Structure 1
């Protein structure tokens, strides 16, 4: 029942929000964000816990203000995403203003293949639409399998309607397909600040250890593709901002594991810089750092022991 309700709510969003006048949709998004923030649920508390590692001198008042702005940013992402399928090519092209996009266009022109690696900042779907409709360049990406399956199918259909090739993170051969696209000179876009597998690379992130996906670095090594970090943020306008950063180069020496570790750390450092500048636009509402993941595992083990004792 919970899965059906979740799927139905997302379906309602795509069916109705895109039909609302834009001022109404924006106001609705802010009201929902503020209501969720006031309830102080697990997602808001987790966001504040994550932000406490990001900002200096994180007083309760500072964290509360940031989490409120963060929920508004997060809900702006959803309101925009529900409406993206109805946007014209001109609207999509004019809604994102990235700096140093020449890193991307020059890389594609060289025929080398390009990997764009992004954190969960602002609206990565909007950035993708700008690429497919604004630049006219298709790309492949990977999506986390969601429950229920019908919700995952809905997300795949949504992103494919925007010109993206969507591969499931598990249950398929995503890596091989991505490598083929890159060797053919194509574009791959990956959200890469949170590891969804057991094979992530440990990195230092805001002074603590976490894991990030190894995929971007390994793909760059195996295919010769250019690896470009990208950071995104909102300002007070209707146009999202972004930065295409200089390439992360493959080290000249070392084992594959050493090269992968070095490149993933370089990505983490660029992500950290962008997040520090715009912490309210980092939509990380899940546990990320190893210390938090270990605490959750310990609680699960304790609960399991209690259940067995009972």
Structure 2
């Protein structure tokens, strides 16, 4: 692995945010969870946009659950999503040697990753919005050099801080433009390692197509399909899921259809792989994300909470 780059000085606003996160990281986990539950409860009672999106997504993806069961899952999801901020203050600001004590890594799981890297065709880790994907990124960099794509945050100060955190262990961040994507293609061709958030909604039709996710047609990125077709990459589905003791590393084989030469079949396999991870801890999935905001022609808009 390459050595960690010398961090660039952060602007004042970013340093202030960093200081706040360091203070947040001092809170005991029980206090953080209690605060997260209180905030999540208020979101539910006030009917915030995040709470409404959560309920709509769960009703779409789990139509067989009763109203009570859907409500229970929505409440649990809001708690985990709010807690993610408290939790990530530690993931971002603690050194890896301290974080490593919080993560349980089964020998066979790590062996699966190393075996995939040993094939020399490049490895893609599907890292959807479940558990703590920031911790997953830090773990992967300890195993091998990691390059990832990064979509800038709307807040310049927070954006510079996130870039700082993601590069602190030596991870290289590539822009989400043609140059960055081509850099990722070349990196994987050399047998490199990358992590991709496969459940992000592409903003443009190019590089995306509809495929079912929990039975609902969802705009899905074709980048992973193209990377597999170009380089014959190995794919693993990854997550750091919360447990009573901290976190558990999950690195599973994806749905076999992801390797299909047919684009539609591959995208179905991609979403099925994400579903398999979500089913392991559905309350830890970020249902607050507008996964279905892009719809097929002729379908009504979703998440339109202004009517009525």
- TM interval, short-chain normalised: 0.7 to 0.9
The aligned counterpart of 1:83 is 90
Gaps of 5+ in 2: 1-12
The aligned counterpart of 2:71 is 64
Higher mean displacement: 35-44 or 118-127: 35-44
- Of 184, 187, 194, the match for 1:181: 187
The aligned counterpart of 2:133 is 124
Contact 1:54 1:276 in 2 (8 A): no
SS in 2 for 1:52: helix
Contact 1:104 1:244 in 2 (8 A): no
- Of 272, 276, 286, the match for 1:273: 276
Change over 3 Å in CA distance of 1:166–1:95 after alignment to 2: same
Structure 1 CA distance, aligned partners of 2:230 and 2:130?
27
Cα displacement (A) at 1:196? 2.1
The aligned counterpart of 1:107 is 116
Note the aligned Cα RMSD (angstroms): 3.2
Change over 3 Å in CA distance of 1:292–1:219 after alignment to 2: closer
Which whole-Å deviations, capped at 9, do the CAs of 1:158-188 have from their partners, x for residues lacking one?
2112432222324x52211111211222101
**Which residues of 2 match residues 8-87 of structure 1 at below 5 A?**
11=18, 13-87=20-94
Which whole-Å deviations, capped at 9, do the CAs of 1:38-90 have from their partners, x for residues lacking one?
32201111011111122253333222211111112112322221112343433
Contact 1:234 1:241 in 2 (8 A): no
Change over 3 Å in CA distance of 1:37–1:163 after alignment to 2: farther
Structure 1 CA distance, aligned partners of 2:300 and 2:15?
33
Structure 1 CA distance, aligned partners of 2:61 and 2:303?
25
Which whole-Å deviations, capped at 9, do the CAs of 1:182-241 have from their partners, x for residues lacking one?
122210100001222323121112222111111112112212221222355333332234
What is the aligned length? Answer: 288
Contact 1:228 1:247 in 2 (8 A): no
The aligned counterpart of 1:196 is 202
Structure 2 CA distance, aligned partners of 1:241 and 1:227?
16
Structure 2 CA distance, aligned partners of 1:240 and 1:13?
27
Higher mean displacement: 30-39 or 272-281: 30-39
The aligned counterpart of 2:289 is 286
SS in 2 for 1:272: helix
TM-score, normalised by the number of residues in structure 2: 0.80
- Of 139, 149, 159, the match for 2:146: 139
**Which residues of 2 match residues 139-178 of structure 1 at below 5 A?**
139-170=146-177, 173-178=179-184
Contact 1:98 1:243 in 2 (8 A): no
